[in-house]
A and B are shown apart, each in its own frame.
Chain A
Amino acid sequence: RKEVEQDPGPFNVPEGATVAFNCTYSNSASQSFFWYRQDCRKEPKLLMSVYSSGNEDGRFTAQLNRASQYISLLIRDSKLSDSATYLCVVRGGSYIPTFGRGTSLIVHP
């Protein structure tokens, strides 16, 4: 099993739709979790950290399920500008953050 797994997609959704991505991780000792967004040919940028109790930032909601070892990202009311690749990042206590391959989202008119 890969350390961090994501469905590469692409997820192709219309504007206004709600879309959800999951990311599974294999290391039960993982301590911190993040979602990054990467636009084509650009660097990854932090979208949001994922807290144990779940957290929301506008149209974006992140959840952590430690028992099943996955995190999720929910995007409500999708905008064209949400089109990007969403990277899941998991960190344990070591120096090495582990990135997933990313999930591609395409929002169309």
Chain B
Amino acid sequence: ETGVTQTPRHLVMGMTNKKSLKCEQHLGHNAMYWYKQSAKKPLELMFVYSLEERVENNSVPSRFSPECPNSSHLFLHLHTLQPEDSALYLCASSHSPQGDGYNEQFFGPGTRLTVL
């Protein structure tokens, strides 16, 4: 596999369920990101990890819990979600998390989440 992969690609869950989204990057990058994309809205940054350390938590509700066990893997643990959390969740990686230099991000295909 190359690039950034995400599983599952689609997920339907009830509000009382607990599930996890998985992201893996094969690019040798040091930074990983979770984004939420809702219909007709810009991408919303949720979390940033640099070398497995969380460096940014963009005021995300505690029902979303990230985990970065190593620089290649990123998880998003979900529990007691609300219907308004239904969205496309995108993972991305970049060489470093800093904004200097042309440090472009590479995105995974996303997980389309529906909360019933």
A-side residues, CB < 8 A to B, are 4, 30-32, 34, 41-46, 49, 51, 87, 89, 91-97, 99-102
A contact residues around B102 at 8 Å (CB): 32, 34, 49, 51
B contact residues around A92 at 8 Å (CB): 99
Smallest distance from the beta carbon of A49 to chain B beta carbons, Å? 5
* Bound-complex Cα distance A85 to B103 (A): 21
**Total residue contacts A-B, CB cutoff 8 A:** 62
Interface size on B, residues (CB 8 A): 27
Q: B107 contacts which of A30, A44, A95 (Cβ < 8 Å)?
A: A44
Question: Counting CB contacts under 8 A, is B97 at the interface?
Answer: yes
B contact residues around A30 at 8 Å (CB): 99
- Chain B window 1-30, contacts with chain A (Cβ cutoff 8 Å), 1 for yes, 0 for no: 000000000000000000000000000000
Name the interface residues of B89-110: CB closer than 8 Å to any CB of A: 90, 97-110
Interface residue SS majority, chain B: loop
B105, closest chain A residue (CB): A97
Contact B99 A94 (CB under 8 A): yes
Contact A91 B43 (CB under 8 A): no
Question: Counting CB contacts under 8 A, is B116 at the interface?
Answer: no
B contact residues around A46 at 8 Å (CB): 104-106
Contact B98 A99 (CB under 8 A): no
